[in-house]
């Protein structure tokens, strides 16, 4: 959902240089001989001047002709939760064990959840303890060839399941984790797809972190 441009001329408070510009919501990042990371107030008065993308403090980045306006639009219209979760209209979406009225209402505007047992594009599974993984085999068996499962769990120090437990339980059932993102203020979501060949593997050691997953914004 981000953007990347190389060969960008950056004029920063610390100097000027050629470099790479990245939009990784909510951060605008410049990497060159001089570097900078901008978000929040720094992007509040973002504007375009010719081929330049100009920030609140006057920092500017010169992009290829016609690109500055596209960057402005992308930054001012960041992806929403459904975009980050990869939900697209027309997909077959199944929700199990998630009692989140706001999410369900949001989902219904793009891809209303259905009861399905095969060709599932996205499966959202809420888990609270390891017993919830017992249904994984049947659920994963219904995924479409390119389908994915989002495991949604409470985050933080008081979470009943730690990230290492979720990763281990999923990997042992032949799944591979591909992405993590914030689901809500209280929950995180980790995306899994079927391992090629479907073989279960012993989970690799993961550092135990009481804070839980480091959500992508």
What was the pLDDT predicted at 45? 94
Spatial separation of the C-alpha atoms in residues 182 and 65, rounded to whole Å: 35
Residue 172 vs residues 129, 133, 179, 212: alpha-carbon distances, Å: 16, 10, 18, 20
Question: Average pLDDT in the 22-32 region?
Answer: 94
Residue 216 vs residues 17, 33, 65, 196, 211: alpha-carbon distances, Å: 29, 27, 31, 25, 14
What was the pLDDT predicted at 210? 37
pLDDT at 176 over 70: yes
Spatial separation of the C-alpha atoms in residues 123 and 103, rounded to whole Å: 14
Mean pLDDT of the chain: 89
- Whole-prediction pTM: 0.68
pLDDT at 217 over 70: no
């Amino acid at each position: 959902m981000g953007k990347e441009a190389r060969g960008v001329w950056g004029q920063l408070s610390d100097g000027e240089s050629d470099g790479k510009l990245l939009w990784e919501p909510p951060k605008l990042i410049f990497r060159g001989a001089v570097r900078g990371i901008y978000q929040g107030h720094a992007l509040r008065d973002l504007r375009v001047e010719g081929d330049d993308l100009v920030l609140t403090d006057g920092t500017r980045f010169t992009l290829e002709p016609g690109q500055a306006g596209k960057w402005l639009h992308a930054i001012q219209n960041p992806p929403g939760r459904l975009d980050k979760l990869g939900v697209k209209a027309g997909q077959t979406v199944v929700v199990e064990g998630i009692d989140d009225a706001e999410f369900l209402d949001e989902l219904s505007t793009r891809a209303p959840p259905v009861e399905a047992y095969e060709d599932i594009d996205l499966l959202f599974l809420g888990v609270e303890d390891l017993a919830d993984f017992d249904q994984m085999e049947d659920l994963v068996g219904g995924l479409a060839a390119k389908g994915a499962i989002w495991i949604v769990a409470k985050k933080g120090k008081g979470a009943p399941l730690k990230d290492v437990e979720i990763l281990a339980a999923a990997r042992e059932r032949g799944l591979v984790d591909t992405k993590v993102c914030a689901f809500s203020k209280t929950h995180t979501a980790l995306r899994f797809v079927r391992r090629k060949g479907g073989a279960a593997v012993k989970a690799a050691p993961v550092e135990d972190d009481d804070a839980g997953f480091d959500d992508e914004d």
